[in-house]
Amino acid sequence: MIKRWDFHIHSDLSPCADDEMTPNNIVNMALIKGLSGISITDHNSIKNLIAIEKVAKDKGLDFLPGVELTTKEEIHVLIYFESMDQYQAMDTFLSEVLPRRANRPGLFGHQRIYDENDRVIGEEENLLMNATRASLEEAYRFSNEIDGLFVPAHIDRSSFSILSNLGFIPPHLGIRMIELSKNTSVEQFYKNHPWAKTLSYLKNSDAHHLVDLLEGTEANCFDIQNGESVLKHLKNHQL
**How do residues 28-45 score in pLDDT, each as one tens digit?**
999 999 999 999 999 999
The per-residue pLDDT for 31 is 98
Nearest Cα neighbor of 15 from 77, 149, 79, 106 is 106
The per-residue pLDDT for 239 is 54
Terminal C-alpha separation, the chain: 21
CA distance 110 to 57: 26
The gap from C-alpha 228 to its chain's centroid, in whole angstroms, comes to 20
Q: What is the pLDDT of residues 142-163, one digit of tens each?
A: 999 999 999 999 999 999 999 9
According to CATH, the topology of domain 2-236 is TIM Barrel (3.20.20)
Name, in order, each residue with C-beta under 8 angstroms of 155's C-beta and a sequence gap of 6 or more: 161, 162, 163, 169, 178, 179, 180
Q: What is the pLDDT of residues 69-119, one digit of tens each?
A: 999 999 999 999 998 889 999 999 999 999 999 999 999 999 999 999 999
DSSP single-letter state for residue 2: E
Tell me what the mean pLDDT of segment 200-220 comes to.
96
User: What share of the chain has pLDDT > 90, as a percent?
Assistant: 93
Indicate left, alpha or beta for 141 from its phi (over 0: left) and psi (-120 to 50: alpha): alpha
Instruction: Label the pairing between strands 177-181 and 120-123.
Output: unpaired
Helices (H), 146-224: 162-165, 186-192
Domain boundaries of the chain, sorted by first residue: 2-236
